[in-house]
Amino acid sequence: MENNERLLGIAHWRWSLLSNVITVLGALSVVFAVYQYSATIEANRAEKTLEMIVEWRDAGYRADFLSLRQSLMTTIEEMSADGRSAERRRDDIVSRSLARDGVDSAFDNVIYYFNLLGLCVEANLCSDETARVFFDDTLENFLQFFGPEIIARRDALPGYGEGVDCLARAFRLEGFRRASCG
């Protein structure tokens, strides 16, 4: 038996097929829109991170970091003949490095910058992948030497350097006591 039902001269099964095709196209459009939205969000995060990287260079944070590194290298050279344990020497190296003129201020500036970047990553305003590509080794080296100093200052000033902790967690760095991030 043949189905002769028609609407506007078109067979009912063709209307059904057309509605199914339109439904599938609509669903694909929604999937594409979601993909495009998420890609735009990630592009905006990467752009914000790149702005932070430019700020690292242009606002003097990189110069402060290099000043810290130079102070460490100078102090290490001065103390190289010391026969004490490496852990004890590291604490002395850090304290002597920070005692040099302007170095403590440079330390605070670098902490401030890493706090900003860490909180930006934690709030999903910056891309952790882009930040990791640019700052992973820098932060790891910084925390290797100055992590105990950050913790000591946090004991006196609760919340000190929490953004650094957030950044270390985002970078999956081990061996650094973390504060609660988000």
Q: What is the pLDDT of residue 138?
A: 92
The residues near 33 (Cβ < 8 Å, ≥ 6 apart) are: none
Structural domain range at position 62? 43-170
For residue 59, tell me if it sits in a domain.
yes
- Smallest CA-to-CA distance from 125 within 23, 42, 17, 8 is with 42
For residue 178, tell me if it sits in a domain.
no
For residue 162, tell me if it sits in a domain.
yes
Q: Specify the number of domains making up the chain.
A: 1
Residue range 139-158: mean pLDDT, rounded: 89
For residue 16, tell me if it sits in a domain.
no
Angle at the Cα of 168 (from 163 to 170), degrees rounded to 5?
95
pLDDT band, residue 1 (cuts 50/70/90): very low
pLDDT band, residue 40 (cuts 50/70/90): confident
For residue 140, tell me if it sits in a domain.
yes
For residue 4, tell me if it sits in a domain.
no
For residue 12, tell me if it sits in a domain.
no
Whether the per-residue pLDDT at 176 is higher than 70: the answer is no
Report the 10 Å Cβ neighbour count for 65: 20
For residue 108, tell me if it sits in a domain.
yes
Could you tell me if 172 and 181 are in contact, meaning their C-beta atoms sit under 8 angstroms apart? no
For residues 81-118, b (16+ Cβ closer than 10 Å) or e, as one string?
A: eeeeeeeebbeebbebbbebeebeebbebbbebbbbbb
- Smallest CA-to-CA distance from 130 within 10, 47, 34 is with 47
Q: What is the pLDDT of residue 3?
A: 55
- CA–CA separation, 2 and 11 (whole Å): 11
